Structure 1
Amino acid sequence: MKTPDSRLTRRAMLAGGAALGMAGVVGCSNEGRGGTTGNNDEATRTQVRPAYVRYEGVQPDLPGAEYKIPDAFLKYPEAPVDAITEPPGDGKPITVTTYTNTPIPPKLEQNTFWQELNKQAGSPIEVSLTPSVDYTQKFATAVAGNKLGDIFLVGGIPQVPQMLAAKAVDLTPHLSGDNIKKYPFLANLPEDGWNSCIFGGKIYAIPIPRGAISSSVLYSREDMLADQGLKAEVKSADDFVELCKALSDKRKNRFALATAPTQYVRNMFAMPNQWSEEGGKLVNFREHEAHEAVFEILNQLWKAGYIHPDAYSGQNQDMKVRFNNGSSPLVVDTFSGWQTYLQTRVDEDTRIAIIPPPKADGSGVGATWLGGHVIGTVAINKNAEDRIETILAYLNFLAAPFGTQEYLFRKYGLEGVHHKMVDGKPVINDKGFSETQLGLSYQADGPWTIFLPEDAESTETCFNAMKEIIPNALDNPVTGMYSETDRRKGPQINEALDDVTEDIITGRKPISAWAPAVKKWKTDGGDQIAEELSKALAESR
């Protein structure tokens, strides 16, 4: 008989899961979602945590470890390593439940890449893809209906520890300590990522690493700035406003900013990355005293017409289109988006630069928020427990790192079909971009690298920008830690504050509306979230 704590109901999952979307995936956002061991015994945690064995098969052109950033590569190795000697599959289908941020790819019958993937995997891979914004709702329904794939990306529903205990294989015997060395590319995953995968002293999932590459920054169309004699740099909030003014031209239907640069302006005031420890307690960034000044700047940008009028409508892809077609030469996005901008650019002469946030008063450099350690976690269905070694071997195949033949195929497809080699760099074509979008990087992935073959200078430009920004970036002290109240109430109360933010920026509400909205956020669940995360933080030490 199940206890009340372990019972999973459709009503409970849908009530807390609706409206979470992509941000609700375990470990995906900087809100502290993810896992915690819930165990104060350091010896137990050490025994459970998988061993870390760095892959040394390829040496980077630009090593990033010293700067806490990914390694960078200027070319792909001429003779990529065949990292997997035998296909990992057992000939039987492997079903997958995950999401996508790109258009759905062609069906298997019309998809050469998918057909080749099945051959290399040694099993037919059957993928159920859902747009990321709809994933949590779809995931909750799949859990309640017992229709999860053999592999599933964990969605942002309530009762995650109970759900994993009920639905997922306990991976501890297979991955704890040195056991993981049977799967060397899973052992190569960054250590911090496992924080989001361990509940009650057991490993229930595998991390999909991101880290510094998922930090949000301000992109600029350096080529467009240069045409106007402008530089991709600002030294104060006033400088930023002046740059936006210079780049906006209503007669040409051009607005400097593709979306409201809310986080970027907050970075100018060194607001904490989601949470900070003050007097032994966790304090949320929403309570920061500088919000009035932040809103004054953002309101000024909106009233002047420097932010695209559709900034608060449409899809995430729309901001990328505005940036690439030049209608908005500034956009806030993560470092990981750089390659997509290059692959979808309209003009081959497009040059991208990053503008670090200054302190608002011009006294120095602002504080960028460090991206979360993982973008998600993946679990294995208990219904597939009799095939656990096959499925772990498949995930190990997907995690093969840069420099291997498997990575080259997974990211760029077949040479001559999906990409061509140009000076040692695989440049993907339209067929490749379309057919490879099977959500593989949301099933398993190796450590992120900086490699931008579409443009000769971009790899080094991106590396240097990260080297400048990331060493001083602010981390979230509770990233990867779990709060049930955050999972149940966080999406609703956060959305309510986001609505107030939009209303203030667009002038529908006065700046004075912020303080009472934050007070309501705290009483509606924010204070309880802080308490739960504080407890998780104490247990992790």
Structure 2
Amino acid sequence: MSVYDARPLGRRAVLAGGAALGLAGAVGCSNDGRGGSGVANDEASRSKIRPAYERYTGVKPDLAGAEYNIPDAFRRYPADPVQAITQPPGDGKPITVTTYTNTPIPPKLELNTFWQEFNKRVGSPLQVNLTPSVDYNKKFATVVAGNQLGDLFMVGAVPQVPQMLTAKAVDLTPHLSGDNIKKYPYLANLPEVCWNSGIFDGKIYGVPVPRGAISSSVLYSRADILEAQGLKAEVKSADDFVELCKGLTDRKLNRFALATAPTQYVRNMFDIPNQWSKNGDALVSYLEHEAHEEVFGILQKLWKSGYIHPDAYAGQNLDMKTRFANGSSPLVLDTFSGWPTYLQTMTDKNAEIAIIAPPKHDGSGQGKTWLGSPAIGVTAVSKKAEGRVETLLAYLNYLATPFGTQEYLFRKFGLAGVHHRLVEGNPVLNAKGFSETQLGLNYQADGPWTIFLPEREGSAETQFNAMKSVCPTALANPAAGLYSETNTRKGGQIGDAVNQVADDIVQGRKPVSAWAVAVKKWKSDGGDKIAEELAQALKSSR
């Protein structure tokens, strides 16, 4: 029996939300088949060119997630993983890549055993230009302006994205549309909805990097610390949440309940929409939701009471992960995809991770989490490398090899005895492995996300059940993937301005009444125009 299953993927509107960089929105990543700039970009046109879907069925999950629109989970890595790639994809020439990372920059090639072995297995030396994710959009604009894009590049947010792709990227339609993609079977295994992120004007311009529900933001808790304090890892109202934070805060131990301000989590208590909501043919920003006054009241209380870490607004992304890992902040808001990193960085063997679902603020039930986007962006092939397009697609196909293969095992865990040790047959990264494998490979291409957490027995099932408890009822973004030129040009600037006001309100520097003024300015400075453009795109995509 073939390991490929050509069953079509369901078309439900799921897994929408904002990628950390805003890249997915910039390139049209959608949860239901929308994206692009409007020319030959209706559903009929996309259906003609969208790559065929052939699901990889080489391994059977211990916990199947399809019913809940969450990833499959595995407790064990296969003892005899299959070899997915028989010939190295490279052509001997360097492959240059422009992308980003959310982890520390790895050791240089001459000091990096994993990188050296990776180059041998690929058959071409990888030269990767990595930028921290928070700086990538600015760096990408500079690289585009200087005509310094790599052979492969993760698409960032710049003005006129469709025009930029037309000018800088290879049209991949002849290689990937319909059954043509079967030459690259592991790209064909990517969820169908992800491909809309790379379709503009009836052409395929990029390979999506899939994520989905795994990129939904939730409240992590150090269940072991809660248990030691006699506290329940469940809250039923906003008041319960504040009391939990009070119980976790201990200034004598230099412990603050929250690593960062839980703004989105509190918004989830009031069912505030995921970025946008529909009002007839119009779109209304979540910023305009009437519950914000109450949201800020709760956040102000948390800050004033000292339950949020005092450096919450001054640190970097890695700082909040460190606070959670070392227990100085037992609660942190992060995406489900961060779970493996927390397990790898926690030194306390008794540390346990759990998720606290958002309650309704008034105790009337469970709140609504915001679902993540089906892809975090797309990787395009530079026109400067057009003569090597098949080699570069074969390389991306290699990076997309799925869980259960030899290639996935090496890509994620490196060499046995060097980068990982075996624990009851499962690979567990050591410090050298965690450092050296951070080449940004999963921000170039990747297979569908799989829940596999060998660091701690039972963790895969814990995360699966946590996702199962919040994702099926979570809120989708109706404008996910729709392209707005105003948003690309001004969205970041005006968004930063209104977010700064939010930060000032939480920290008591401005009154809650300043929010309405800030939102009014956001609307006049471009927010209303963004809403109009997205609403028009939504209407034309039906």
TM range (shorter): over 0.9
Partner SS, residue 472 of structure 1: coil
1:181 is displaced (CA, Å) by 1.0
Alignment of 1:37-116 (within 5 A): 38=38, 39=40, 41-116=42-117
Structure 1 residue 133 and structure 2 residue 134: aligned? yes
Asked if 2 retains the 8 angstrom alpha-carbon contact of 1:22 and 1:28, the reply is: no
Partners of 1:28 and 1:322 in 2: CA distance = 32
Which deviates more, 121-130 or 218-227?
121-130
Aligned residues of 2:30 and 2:193 also touching (Cα < 8 A): no
How does 1:406-417 map onto structure 2 within 5 Å?
A: 406-417=407-418
Q: Which residue of 2 aligns with 1:486?
A: 487
| Residues 246 and 265 (structure 1), Cα distance of their counterparts in 2 relative to 1, 3 Å cut | same
2:5 aligned partner: none
Give the equivalent residue in structure 1 for 2:21. Answer: 23
CA–CA distance in structure 2, aligned partners of residues 195 and 309 of structure 1:
42
Residues of 1 paired with 2:515 and 2:213: CA distance? Answer: 30
Counterpart for residue 10 of structure 1: none
Task: Identify the residue that residue 512 of structure 1 maps to in structure 2.
Answer: 513
1:181 alignment partner AA: K
Matches within 5 A, 1:223-372: 223-372=224-373
Distance in 1, matches of 2:323 and 2:44, equals: 52
Q: Which AA in structure 2 matches 1:513? A: A
1:330–1:41 CA distance, 2 compared to 1 (3 A): closer
Letter in 1 for 2:36: T
Aligned residue identity for 2:494: I
* Structure 2 CA distance for aligned equivalents of residues 450 and 393 of structure 1: 25
Q: Output the CA distance in 1 between the equivalents of 2:434 and 2:161.
A: 34
CA contact (8 A) 1:101 1:131 kept: yes
* 1:438-457 aligned within 5 A: 438-457=439-458
Other-structure match for 2:475: 474
Q: Gaps (5+ residues) in structure 1?
A: 1-19
* Deviation larger for 362-371 or 136-145: 136-145
User: Is the alpha carbon distance of 1:116 and 1:27 closer, same or farther for their aligned partners in structure 2, counting shifts above 3 Å?
Assistant: farther
Contact 1:218-1:264 within 8 A present in 2 as well: yes
Q: Counterpart amino acid of 1:279?
A: G
Q: Name the % identity.
A: 71
For 1:120 and 1:28, how far apart are their aligned partners in 2? 33
Pairwise CA distance, 1:279: 2.1
- How far the C-alpha of 1:24 sits from its partner, in A, is 3.8
2:525, 2:347 → 1: CA distance?
Answer: 46
Deviation at 1:348, TM superposition (A): 1.4
CA distance in 1, matches of 2:450, 2:265: 24
**What secondary structure is seen at the aligned counterpart in 1 of 2:354?**
strand
Deviation at 1:35, TM superposition (A): 3.8
The match for 1:15 is none
Which secondary structure does the structure 1 equivalent of 2:377 belong to? strand
**Residue 11 of structure 1 aligns with which residue?**
none
Alignment of 1:130-279 (within 5 A): 130-279=131-280
Structure 1 CA distance for aligned equivalents of residues 356 and 29 of structure 2: 25
Deviation at 1:307, TM superposition (A): 0.5
- Tell me the CA shift for residue 26 of structure 1: 3.5
> Gaps (5+ residues) in structure 2?
1-17
Q: How big is each residue's C-alpha offset from its partner over 1:328-349, in whole Å with a ceiling of 9 and x where there is no partner?
A: 1000000000000010112111
Give deviations 1:18-43, integer Å, cap 9, x for gaps: xx996242448999899426236433
**In 1, Cα distance between equivalents of 2:473 and 2:27:** 20
Distance of aligned partners of 1:21 and 1:363 in 2 relative to their CA distance in 1, 3 Å threshold: closer
Match for 1:432: what amino acid? G
Give 2:394's aligned amino acid: A
Paired amino acid for 2:122: A
Amino acid corresponding to residue 25 of structure 1 in structure 2: L
Deviations 1:146-170 (A, max 9, x none): 1111000111111111110000000
CA gap of 1:487–1:279, structure 2 versus 1, over 3 A, is: same
Does the 8 A contact of 1:152 with 1:381 survive in 2?
yes
Shift of 1:235: 0.4
Residues 22 and 41 of structure 1: is their aligned pair in 2 closer, same or farther, counting only changes over 3 Å? Answer: closer
Q: In the TM superposition, what whole-angstrom CA distance separates every residue of 1:194-252 from its partner, at most 9, and x where no partner exists?
A: 12111111110111011100000000000000001111100000000000000011122
- For 2:481 and 2:76, the matched residues in 1 are separated by 33
Q: What one-letter code is carried by the residue in structure 1 that aligns with 2:157? A: G
SS at match of 2:239: helix
Contact 2:195 2:208 in 1 (8 A): yes
Q: Distance in 2 between matches of 1:264 and 1:55?
A: 35
Q: Is the 8 A contact 1:22 1:135 kept in 2?
A: no
Please give the alpha-carbon distance, in whole angstroms, between the structure 2 residues aligned to 1:410 and 1:356.
33
Q: What TM-score, normalized by structure 2, do the two folds share? A: 0.94
Which amino acid in 1 is paired with 2:130?
L
Verify: 1:36 aligned to 2:33, yes or no. Answer: no
Structure 2 CA distance, aligned partners of 1:262 and 1:22?
Answer: 15
Deviation per residue, 1:27-74 (Å, 9 max, x gap): 489998994262364332211111111111111000000011000000
Mapped contact 1:21–1:137 kept (Cα < 8 A): no
Supply the AA of the counterpart residue of 2:438.
Q
- Looking at structure 2, the residues matched to 229 and 41 of structure 1 have their Cα atoms a distance apart, in angstroms, of 56
Secondary structure of the residue that 2:73 maps to in structure 1? coil
> In 2, Cα distance between the equivalents of 1:118 and 1:35?
35
Q: Pick closer, same or farther for the CA change 1:91–1:31 going to 2, 3 Å.
A: closer
1:297 and 1:32 map into 2 onto residues whose CA distance is: 33
Contact 1:152 1:443 in 2 (8 A): yes
Residue of structure 2 equivalent to 1:6: none
Note if contact 2:29-2:374 (Cα within 8 Å) is conserved in structure 1: no
**Equivalent position SS for 1:126:** strand
Q: How many residues matched?
A: 522
Instruction: Determine helix, strand or coil for the equivalent of 2:61.
Output: coil
Q: Secondary structure at the match of 1:333?
A: strand
The CA distance in 2 between the partners of 1:278 and 1:22, in whole Å, is 26
Q: What is the letter of the counterpart of residue 167 of structure 2?
A: A
The answer as to whether partners of 2:50 and 2:195 remain within 8 angstroms in 1 is: yes
Structure 1: distance between partners of 2:21 and 2:483: 14
In 1, distance between residues paired with 2:200 and 2:438?
A: 31
Aligned partners of 1:393 and 1:27: how far apart in 2?
Answer: 26
Change (3 A) 1:342 1:42: closer
Q: Which residue of 2 aligns with 1:401?
A: 402
In 2, the alpha carbon distance for the partners of 1:32 and 1:191 equals: 11
SS of equivalent to 1:362: coil
